[in-house]
Structure 1
């Protein structure tokens, strides 16, 4: 899995986990992607740094360097929207 894909998957499940703090599956999935980011991609930190009208800014540190990746806001929130629109998970 590429770093960009791993960051995007982490971001999507982070949004879900933050919105649904009692969702154990979301928390387990978040832990899984955090493990991928730290072990497979050697990131030492990663966080949502900012959000604007169209993008979410993810800041991370790799190899001692701080970097930023931008992700489309709507795409980033799509997983949460899909979960919330399904009565099975409401």
Structure 2
């Protein structure tokens, strides 16, 4: 899986896990993408560093260097919003 895809998928499911802390499937899926990021892409730390009106700033460490990836907020929050809007999942 490409790094950018793994990072985006981790972000989306991290937001779901934060919004639904008792959702075991979300937690397992988050851990799956974290494993891809750490094992395949050698990321050692990853956090949502900042959220502003338009962007989510994801800070991670790779190869001993701290980096920031900015992802459009609307795209990052889409999965959580879809889950919230579908009564089947609530």
TM-score (structure 2 length as normaliser) = 0.97
Unaligned runs of 5+ in 1: none
**Which residue of structure 1 aligns with residue 49 of structure 2?**
49
Q: SS of the residue aligned with 1:69?
A: strand
For residues 1-90 of structure 1, the aligned pairs below 5 Å read: 1-90=1-90
Distance 1:37 1:10 in 2: 9
Distance 1:52 1:30 in 2: 22
Deviation at 1:30, TM superposition (A): 0.5
TM-score (structure 1 length as normaliser) = 0.97
Distance 2:81 2:51 in 1: 17
Unaligned runs of 5+ in 2: none
Q: SS of the residue aligned with 1:27?
A: helix
- How many residues align? The count is 90
RMSD: 0.6
